[in-house]
Homo-oligomer: A and B are copies of this chain.
């Protein structure tokens, strides 16, 4: 069975500690795909949730001093339970506060996948970045950034952008699906973090194939949504993206996936 069909048959529990802006959209996106999201944030119940969860998403989009320690705690509990973590360092380059938190988090917690744009991932491994909010415009090669980040942070790395780059276990792949409308809706990247988590099935050493499936299925859904005649902007794109995630099958993924292996 391929991972998509496994996902639809197992409905894996994905716990999301994510930002306030995207909780609803992330939950609806994961439900549309076939996963079972739970936005549990209390460390008091983390152990019970993570024992049965397929993966945990940690997204720092609305980091505050009230939730810093909770995020550290749940990260440790997930590590203790062997639950894979997808880490999304949203806008880490935008403030010293975010940079310091991410540094501390990644020093103390093992993560399975780190997902971000090139600027965010670069910030995690380099202090010389400028303030760019959540967008990336760095001129460094994303493949180089992903390779360095994967090595130094000991995790699979997914860099999103016009093209996406995945590095896992010294394998590298470049993916070219997606839609420009993803940049016009909030939480597109955050939902992708949840989608990647949905393809982990408690595996802290996922194959690059599982990550390719996750990223490509999401981007192909976006591509198909954009091409629907009734989609005329971000408003109509949003529900159509959910419908595409709901209806997309493995054959469609195979038909449209646009990937290129890169020599490491």
Contact = CB atoms under 8 A, between A and B. Distances in A.
Contact of A184 (B32, B131, B183, B236): B32
A236 B232 contact: no
Contacts of A36: 133-135
Contacts of A62: 39-41
A247 interface: yes
Contact of A45 (B28, B38, B49, B94): B94
A137 to B, nearest CB: 12
A71 interface: no
Nearest to A34: B184
A234 interface: yes
Given A45-B97, A234-B242, A186 B28 contact: yes
Contacts of A183: 31
Contacts of A22: 24
Contacts of A48: 94-97, 131
A238 B235 contact: yes
A240 interface: yes
Interface of A: 13, 19-25, 27-28, 31-32, 36-42, 44-45, 48-49, 51-52, 61-66, 70, 91, 94-98, 131, 133-135, 183-187, 232-236, 238-247
Q: Which 6 A-B pairs have the closest CB atoms?
A: A235-B242, A45-B95, A235-B239, A233-B243, A233-B246, A27-B186
